[in-house]
């Protein structure tokens, strides 16, 4: 029996708990699991329990992580540092810590400096989400077919990697090993830039004096492009600030593109505008081809062979004497 503790029971933490607890233990690479949970907000913890995401609530972080094999830190990014600091003295040797934060370089540095050497760290980032926050929006199928980034260092012990990879597969996601700096540069473009464009669209239209007249005309295109603006502001603030370098590079690119288009419009350059639109369409169509999990069906791109169920006996089990 593997004991997993989820710290932070928002959308992702609660969805993970639901997915872990509803997995078929006989088929899951983790085998039978027991899920403990902790959230600073008692009501949130109760709601997560009510959604069957955790086997039991804990009064304190210490109680929640005692004898845990795997601790998943699923708080907003800025709180991860604080939680790592607290875990340092609470965790049994041999435990594995992972997180779900959207940026990985800074979080990895916190893990290296705050977690003691007996505790293994594997960075995690499931490429799945929703604009709604909190346990009420959680969904055990949120990770099905999703890419789940994993960042490691040379010193990460293999059993820790196996354990986190097993967790990822148990919730239906696909492990994707990546360097933390590369991860951050990439997600700045495919995740944080779209967020900023959504927020920017919503901001400049709604502050227009004509917004009252415009709003009823806005339809599905506006709805989809602005969707990410409905996400959790505290979480997104942390993401943007911990990945400001990556995001700034993409802001510069986007400003350059907008100014190019403005020039083309001013010049009435039909060919240039059409060329831009044709290329963008071709690229998006190619991306959708490559990402069948964005459509119904199988993800043929990440065709890593399924790993064997990791040998759980290789886990160094936590010291039970505490």
Site for a second copy in 199-218 (CB under 8 A): 199-206, 208, 210, 213-218
Contact yes or no for 108/151 (Cβ under 8 A): yes
Query: Does residue 84 belong to the site contacting a second copy (CB under 8 A)?
Result: no
C-alpha distances in Å from residue 299, one per residue of 74, 172, 187, 191: 26, 12, 20, 20
Tokens of 104: 């990985």
Query: Does residue 291 belong to the site contacting a second copy (CB under 8 A)?
Result: yes
Q: Of 53-61, 85-93, 115-123, 228-236, which segment contacts a second copy by CB under 8 A?
A: 228-236
Query: Does residue 82 belong to the site contacting a second copy (CB under 8 A)?
Result: no
Beta bridge partners of 274: none
Site for a second copy in 268-287 (CB under 8 A): 268, 270, 273-274, 276-281, 283-285, 287
Query: Does residue 294 belong to the site contacting a second copy (CB under 8 A)?
Result: yes
C-alpha distances in Å from residue 64, one per residue of 67, 76, 95, 276: 9, 18, 13, 54
| Rounded Cα distance, 6 and 11, in Å | 12
Nearer to a second copy, 21 or 236 (CB): 236
What phi and psi, each to the nearest 5 degrees, are found at residue 85?
Answer: -60, -40
Nearer to a second copy, 170 or 198 (CB): 198
- Size of the residue set binding a second copy (CB under 8 A): 93
Q: Nearest-CA neighbor of 276 among 249, 258, 252?
A: 258
Site for a second copy in 134-193 (CB under 8 A): 146-147, 149, 176, 178, 182-183, 185-187, 189-191, 193
Query: Does residue 31 belong to the site contacting a second copy (CB under 8 A)?
Result: no
Binds a second copy by CB under 8 A, chosen from 52, 251, 312, 317 = 251
Q: Of 49-57, 83-91, 113-121, 196-204, which segment contacts a second copy by CB under 8 A?
A: 196-204
Tokens of 273: 């505008």
**β-pairing, 56-57 with 70-73?**
unpaired
DSSP assignment of 237-300 equals HHHHHHTHHHHHHHHHHHHHHHHHHHHHHHTT-HHHHHHHHHHHHHHHHHHHHH-GGGSSS---
Contact yes or no for 70/164 (Cβ under 8 A): yes
Closest distance to a second copy from the beta carbon of 102 (Å): 11
Closest distance to a second copy from the beta carbon of 55 (Å): 29
Closest distance to a second copy from the beta carbon of 294 (Å): 5
Site for a second copy in 106-135 (CB under 8 A): 127-129
Query: Does residue 42 belong to the site contacting a second copy (CB under 8 A)?
Result: no
């Amino acid at each position: 029996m593997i004991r997993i503790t989820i710290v932070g029971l928002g959308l992702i933490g609660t969805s993970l708990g639901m997915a872990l607890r509803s997995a078929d233990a006989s088929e899951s690479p983790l085998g039978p699991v027991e899920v403990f949970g902790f959230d600073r907000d008692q009501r949130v913890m109760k709601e997560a329990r009510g959604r069957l995401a955790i086997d039991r609530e804990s009064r304190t972080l210490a109680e929640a992580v005692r004898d845990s094999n795997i601790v998943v830190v699923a708080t907003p990014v800025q709180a991860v540092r604080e939680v790592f600091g607290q875990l340092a003295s609470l965790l049994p040797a041999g435990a594995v810590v992972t997180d779900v934060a959207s940026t990985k370089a800074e979080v990895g540095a916190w893990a290296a400096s705050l977690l003691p050497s007996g505790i293994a760290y594997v960075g995690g980032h499931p490429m799945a989400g929703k604009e709604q926050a909190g346990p009420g929006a959680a969904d055990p199928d949120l990770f099905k077919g999703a890419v789940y980034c994993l960042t490691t260092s040379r010193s990460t012990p293999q059993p820790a990697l196996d354990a986190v990879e097993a967790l990822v597969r148990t919730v239906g996601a696909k492990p994707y090993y990546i360097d933390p700096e590369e991860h951050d540069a990439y997600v700045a473009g495919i995740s944080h830039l779209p967020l900023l464009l959504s927020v920017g669209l919503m901001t400049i239209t709604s502050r227009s004096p004509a917004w009252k007249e415009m709003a009823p005309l806005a339809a599905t295109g506006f709805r989809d492009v602005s969707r990410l603006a409905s996400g959790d502001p505290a979480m997104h603030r942390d993401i943007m600030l911990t990945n400001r370098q990556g995001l700034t590079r993409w802001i510069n690119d986007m400003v350059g593109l907008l100014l190019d288009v403005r020039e083309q419009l001013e010049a009435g350059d039909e060919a240039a505008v059409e060329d831009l639109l044709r290329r963008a369409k071709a690229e998006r169509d190619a991306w959708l081809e490559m990402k069948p999990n964005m459509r119904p069906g199988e993800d043929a791109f990440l065709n890593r062979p399924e790993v064997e169920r990791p040998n759980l006996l290789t886990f160094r089990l936590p010291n039970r004497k505490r």
